[in-house]
Amino acid sequence: MTRILLVDDSEAFRYVLREMLEGAGHRVRLAENGKIAIELERQQPSELILMDLVMPEKEGIETILELLVQNANVRIIAISGGGSSNPDANLRMAKSLGAKLVLKKPFSRAEVLSAIEQVMAEPR
C-alpha cells in the first residue's frame, strides 16, 4: 500500500483514478491544482505524487520544481493529456526536471499500477 497524492484539475478524472488506486490497496489524497498539492505535502508528505501538468492556479511543471525544493527525494509520476499544449513536450520536460516516470493520458489501469510499482521499487 502506497500513500499517493493525486493532483489533477479534472474532478471526474481524480475520482475515477482514486477509486482505481484504492481498489488496488493504495491510500489516496486529492488535490485539484499545484497550489493545494504543495500545501498538502507540507502538512503530510506522500510516498508518491501523480501530477497532472496542465492545470489552472499552478501548473504541474512549476509544482514539480517546488516539490523537489521541499524534498529532493520526492517520487513523482507526471501525467498529461496535453490540453491545448503538446503533451509529449510537457512530459519530456517533467522527466528532465525530476519526474521519475511519465504517463500520457489516456492510460490503462494496468499501466498506472505498473508505473507505481516501478517507481516505488526504485531506491530513494
| CATH number for the domain running over 10-83+93-108 | 3.40.50.2300
For residue 104, the model assigns a pLDDT of: 93
Provide the residue ranges of all domains of the chain, joining segments of one domain with +: 10-83+93-108
* E strand intervals along 1-124: 3-7, 27-31, 48-52, 76-80, 101-104
Predicted pLDDT at 86: 74
Spell 63-86 as b/e; 16+ CB within 10 A means b.
Answer: bbeebeeeeeebbbbbbbbeeeee
pLDDT 10s per residue in the chain (124 long)?
899 999 999 999 999 999 999 999 999 999 999 999 999 999 999 999 999 999 988 999 999 999 999 999 999 999 998 665 677 888 999 999 999 999 999 999 999 999 999 999 998 7
Please, are residues 65 and 94 in contact by the beta-carbon 8 Å criterion? Answer: no
Residue 85: its pLDDT value, please? Answer: 65
**Please, are residues 51 and 99 in contact by the beta-carbon 8 Å criterion?**
yes
Q: How many CA atoms are closer than 13 Å to the CA of 51, on its beta-carbon side?
A: 37
